[in-house]
Structure 1
Amino acid sequence: MEGLSVLIHDEEKSGGICGLSIAKGEPPITHLFFTNDCLLFCRANSLKDNTLKATLEEFSLASGQEINYNKSSLQFSRNVDNFTKDVVSEIMGTCVGNQKSSYLGLPYLIGRRKYEILRIIKGKIMGRIKS
């Protein structure tokens, strides 16, 4: 995974991939790695997504690890139109995930529902503390 991280950083430096900033003035995030999973963050743009797909294929060839596109999904912000979603989905070879999808029990997209989501998380933590 270290190799994939280097490839992604190199593409970001050269302008091939643009990460996403979570707040104005903050550095962009391109990826987060977990045990057997990877979350990638990129602008929904066919040129950038072609670069991301090529980077993933380069990683697969070099490492021998296969990416399971059947288990993968794409998430888009509300600002992305349906045509762009379809084009990006076709380029990446995976489907668009459900807006209510979650990862490790937390929703992929929080958006403006921060209070509601954080209240649910707080309730789960408080329940574990009490038990």
Structure 2
Amino acid sequence: MERLGHMIHNAVDIGLWLPFRFIRNGTPLSHLFFTDDLILYAKADLSQAEAIANILSDFGKFSEHRVSCRKSGIYFSPNTDASIMHAI
């Protein structure tokens, strides 16, 4: 999981991953690790969803871990446009 954290930080540093901010000038948040769970935060944008998918795929190649779609969910801000939600 440490490797995944580094991959996320690198993507944020180069601007590939745009972290979420709960308030306009607040601290950016890209991910939270728990014992056996992970929460990812990003701007609600198709390019961001693709960046996350690519990072998770690359991580899976190294670690042999896979995302369980059955146990996963996507949550959007109430301000997110329905067409963007559908595209993601």
Q: Which runs of 5+ in 2 are unaligned?
A: none
Kindly report the root-mean-square deviation, in angstroms, between the aligned alpha carbons of the 2 structures: 1.0
Q: Which runs of 5+ in 1 are unaligned?
A: 89-131
How do 1:43-62 and structure 2 match up within 5 A? 43-62=43-62
Question: Runs of at least 4 residues of structure 1 off by over 3 A?
Answer: none
1:77 aligns with: 77
TM-score by length of 2: 0.93
1:66 aligns with: 66
* AA of the residue aligned to 1:63: S
Report the CA distance between 1:22 and its aligned residue: 2.2
1:37 aligns with: 37
Structure with greater contact order relative to length (CA < 8 Å, sep ≥ 6): 2
CA distance in 2, matches of 1:65, 1:25: 34
Structure showing greater radius of gyration is: 1
Quote the sequence identity (%): 27
TM-score by length of 1: 0.64
